[in-house]
């Protein structure tokens, strides 16, 4: 059992019979009254975010997770199929579970699939929970309008289409065929590779 004082970013806890990932938290010590923890928790199955204030004495169960290197195979309908690189077992995630990360997926890409052990009567069963993207991905530009000369007075940007269909704003000098490094945390262009 853990208390809000034990929170770490990325920790997964059971709160109100649901699994939540600690996205961010802040310890608050007001002038009057007792200290508390203000936290933002993300439901790992549904994807919604919950802002909550906890007192120091509240307890919840920490869930231990296991990350396995996996390969994104393909999208079938609204499901995304991944394969464990060691056992070749395949696991499917819905579009809702993958969320905004779908913008950065391309076939053959390596990700981490996060599993937790669900306790049953006798033993634990590994249940796929979520995917963790690498911090940066490299994607090829497939469509790029020409940059307009004279637009370079300020930071001029144009929108291009990447190989997976994602559209992103980039500097004017980027052209079709360039490979770009993209930050998966904020979805922004980092550099040309």
User: The dihedral of CA 40, 25, 93, 91: what is its sign?
Assistant: negative
The alpha carbon of 104 is separated from its chain's Cα centroid by a whole number of angstroms, namely 10
User: Residues 180, 170: contact at Cβ < 8 Å?
Assistant: yes
Highest mean pLDDT among 52-66, 107-121, 145-159: 52-66
- CA gap 193, 4 in Å, rounded: 42
What is the tally of helices (H) and strands (E) in the chain? 1, 15
Q: Which fold has domain 4-63?
A: SH3 type barrels. (2.30.30)
Instruction: Enter the tokens of residue 172.
Output: 């004017």
Dihedral Cα 99, 105, 110, 111, nearest 10 deg: -10
Mean pLDDT of 136-143: 90
- Token pair recorded at residue 22: 């600690």
Longest dimension (CA), the chain: 70
Tell me which residue of 65, 108, 66, 112 sits closest to 93, measured CA to CA: 112
Q: What distance in Å separates the CA atoms of residue 189 and residue 69, rounded to the nearest whole number?
A: 25
Q: What is the pLDDT of residues 44-91, one digit of tens each?
A: 777 778 898 888 888 888 888 888 999 999 988 889 999 999 999 999
Give pLDDT, residue 120. 56
Same fold, 65-132 and 136-192: yes
Looking at domain 136-192, its CATH architecture is Beta Barrel (2.40)
According to CATH, what is the number of the domain 65-132? Answer: 2.40.50.140
Mean predicted confidence (pLDDT) in 9-16? 85
Phi, psi of 100 (to 5 degrees): -65, -15
Taking only the tens place, the pLDDT of each residue in 167-176 is 888 888 888 8
| Domain residue spans of the chain | 4-63, 65-132, 136-192
């Amino acid at each position: 059992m853990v208390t809000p004082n034990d929170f770490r970013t990325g920790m997964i806890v059971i709160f109100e019979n649901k699994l939540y990932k600690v996205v961010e938290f802040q310890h608050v010590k007001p002038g009057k009254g007792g200290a508390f923890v203000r936290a933002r928790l993300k439901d790992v199955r549904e994807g919604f975010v919950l802002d909550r204030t906890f007192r120091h004495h509240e307890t919840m169960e920490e869930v231990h997770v296991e990350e396995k290197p996996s390969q994104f195979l393909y999208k079938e309908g609204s499901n995304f199929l991944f394969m464990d690189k060691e056992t070749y077992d395949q696991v499917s995630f819905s579009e809702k579970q993958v969320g905004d990360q779908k913008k950065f997926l391309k076939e053959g890409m390596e990700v981490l699939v996060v599993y937790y052990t669900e306790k049953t009567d006798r033993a634990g069963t590994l249940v796929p929970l979520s995917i963790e993207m690498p911090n940066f991905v490299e994607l090829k530009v497939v469509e790029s309008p020409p940059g307009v000369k004279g637009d370079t007075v300020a930071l001029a940007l144009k929108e291009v289409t990447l190989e997976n269909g994602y559209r992103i704003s980039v500097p004017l000098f980027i052209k079709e065929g360039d490979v770009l490094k993209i930050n998966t945390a904020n979805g922004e262009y980092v550099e040309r590779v």
